[in-house]
Amino acid sequence: MFEDQDNITATVWNPWIIDLASLGINKSNVTTLTIGFERTGTTGGTGTVLIDDVRLYKTPPPLVDPVDPGTDNLVHSYTFDDGTDNDSVGNANGTLEGDATVSGGSLVLHGVDDWMSMPGSVIALNTYSELSIECRFKSVAGGNTGNHMLAAFREEGTGANSTYGYKYLFITSASSGNLSRAVIQTRSMDSSPWGKETSVSAATEHDDGLVHHFVCTVDADYITFYIDGELIGSAELAEGNEIAGIGQDAAYLGKGVYPVDPEWAGSVDRFSIYNKALSDAEVLYLAIH
């Protein structure tokens, strides 16, 4: 249970576990359930609180306490708070492409020929032994109906293969299959690289115009995906899919690894890169802060 009252203003889902036995409730006599909020002191508030997934367990499920990951392993961070696309931690400043802008502390993308480029050779994901990419964003509601990629790193294809993506890592909030995904593919440069991917997918896309938080971690063995602080799953890396193979030619926010795919429409409030695989507790901390 989160006891910090500030969590009621969080834009991601927070678990709230109530031990009925500790309240002296005879569970065989429960006929109604009421959820509400009580004012403390003289200050009230306004707004909307969303509540979902009310469940009853015989025993309480385990609850992860959030842990601040600190900044020791934070190697690049784009917060847009200063009105620029600069990297506030490292030296991999962004470049706004097309009509992309920074406004109100966010990178704003319209989905047509605009995105933010980052220097892939400076970030050099392929030199890490572990990595995490973190993104807090809000899509244009229903604005991403194709294979739109939220963040992507890749190697350029050449010649007849220039329309394909190679040696890539990406996260997407919305795809043509109505999925949110975290994907790595570094083991093939043929004409169907998507068939060699290792990926983790959520059953739904996150293209609803609400604020969401994604984290993808990769280590020597697994790619792992989190949405709004919740672990979606992990997948064991197929042989040849590895961090060392991720290309340095291109790094994007709002543009995909396949040049033919459409750009993403929405706003990004924070994008960070860590040279470690964040833990469940660290991801949860970032999701609620």
Query: Which residue from 111, 174, 104 is spatially nearest to 146, judged by alpha carbons?
Result: 174
- The HSE-up count of residue 27 (CA atoms within 13 Å, CB side) is 10
SS3 label, residue 289: coil
Residue 149 lies in a domain: yes
Comparing C-alpha atoms, which of 179, 173, 183 is closest to residue 213? 173
For residue 160, is pLDDT > 80? no
Tell me the pairing of strands 115-118 and 250-253. antiparallel
Residue-level pLDDT at 175 = 85
What is the structure's pLDDT at 59? 63
Rg of the chain (C-alpha set)? 21
pLDDT per residue as tens digits for the range 121-148:
999 999 999 999 999 999 999 999 888 9
Residue 82 lies in a domain: yes
- Burial class of residue 284, CB neighbours in 10 A (0-12, 13-18, 19+): buried
How many distinct structural domains can be found in the chain? 1
Is the residue at 117 inside a domain? yes
For residue 163, CA distances in Å to 46, 182, 272 come to 50, 21, 28
65 CB-near residues (< 8 Å, 6+ apart): 281
- What pTM does this model have? 0.83
pLDDT at residue 31 above 70?
A: yes
36 within some domain: no
Residue 13 domain flag: no
Domain assignment present for 21: no
| More confident call, 159 vs 261 | 261
pLDDT of residue 9: 63
Would residue 122 count as lying in a domain?
A: yes
Residue 91's CATH number: 2.60.120.200
Task: Tell me: pLDDT of 3 over 60.
Answer: no
Identify whether the C-beta of residue 166 lies closer than 8 Å to the C-beta of residue 157.
yes
The answer to whether residue 235 sits within a structural domain is: yes
Average per-residue pLDDT for the chain: 88
Distance of CA 214 to the CA centre of its chain: 1
Tell me the mean pLDDT in the region 158-181: 83
Provide the domain limits for residue 95: 74-287
Distances (CA, A) of 233 to 124, 200, 230: 26, 6, 9
CB atoms near residue 108 (< 10 Å) = 19
pLDDT of residue 2: 44
Question: Which has the closest alpha carbon to 78: 63, 66, 94, 67?
Answer: 94
